[in-house]
Structure 1
Amino acid sequence: MDVFDAINQRRSVKAYDPDHRMSDEEIEQLFTLAIQSPTSFNIQHWRFVLVRDPEIRKKIRAVGNDQAQMTDASLLVVMTADMKAWEKSPERYWANAPKEVADLLVNWMGPFHEGRDFLQRDEANRSMGMAMQTLMLAAKGMGYDSCPMIGFDFDPVAELINLPDDHVLGPMVAIGKGVKEPWPKPGQLPLSEVLIENRFA
């Protein structure tokens, strides 16, 4: 599918075929595309928790406003990110770069992040957001639908997936074979309202 078509056709689909299974090859392709997303310093904070266990998915649905897609979609992905990835063997993020480039960026990474907890969390969230959009567009390009979700109780979900203390929990994404047309688009704001040239008035 053309990338413009994927962007325009991607919708938040709520109803899925609960019997449909994506192949291992499709799943690998999907996440291989998702990890092409950009991250600051190439840190690659994202950690995609692919919830396969039906019992865990039922428990997530129970604390997720009973959203059917949490159990019915082929995949349920909980987006998380490692806020401390910047200090965990950072040289590996630049393993294939010229030495002078790798040294420059790896040596800059620590001072840029140290003592700035707000920045570490913000960067982790930004990275998750970009990866989640890539994941949904890749799914659309493969002929699947998706639904991003924040309507769940974060603490129980964090416990269910055993979220490490230095990770942040983000939205979830359901991916699968949609069986019901989404509602018509409710309407996009005009560009004149959201596109600002140079500075706010």
Structure 2
Amino acid sequence: MAPFLVVLDVDSTLIEDEVIELLAAEAGALDAVATITSEAMNGRLDFAASLEARVATLAGLPETAFAAVLDRVTVTRGVEELVAGVHRAGGFVGVVSGGFHEIVDTLAERLGLDYWRANRLEVADGFLTGRVRGDIIDARAKADTVTEWASDCGVALRQTVAVGDGANDLEMMSITGLSVGFDAKAPVRDEADVIMDVRDLAQVLPLLGLPRP
């Protein structure tokens, strides 16, 4: 049995950015999207509805924008150390995101993650349609994903760790053995077991009894 599974949110956790906002900037819709994102992450808007509203502003954006956005993404300090430390101890690391596979896939492969899941944007004839393909990865889907991955790698839920910052992370946090609010919004600060305000994900290692590099 693996010793533990660490599952992180992506936007503003694994990375310093909100990908939907980077895409919106390419589409000239940043101000409107940033306002909706803030409301959703603070739990004042339904996540699925807010995502659909934000994605709708991307209609007509060429799919070449994904490469431009990926070049602007900054991985949060300490991610590589966290992944390496967990792997050395025989554990697993995954990310589950209300963001998009078009960006997450490349990041996950670069970082050597074991699991990842995110939304997919619909593209037709080389342009975004303004819709999401398939079911939306919302708070319930995040929790279900943690349960699925824990079963897959043989880790009890009490040995799982969830790291996130927004209201849509609360359901997965509620089922894990340890929840970490990472530079978190108000709803998460009220519920998380541990609050981290320094943006360095290697800080998670000592919580697992593992040394920092």
Q: Tell me whether the two structures share a fold, i.e. TM-score over 0.5.
A: no
Larger Rg: 1
Return the structure number with greater relative CO, CA threshold 8 A, min gap 6. Answer: 1
TM-score calculated relative to the size of structure 1: 0.26
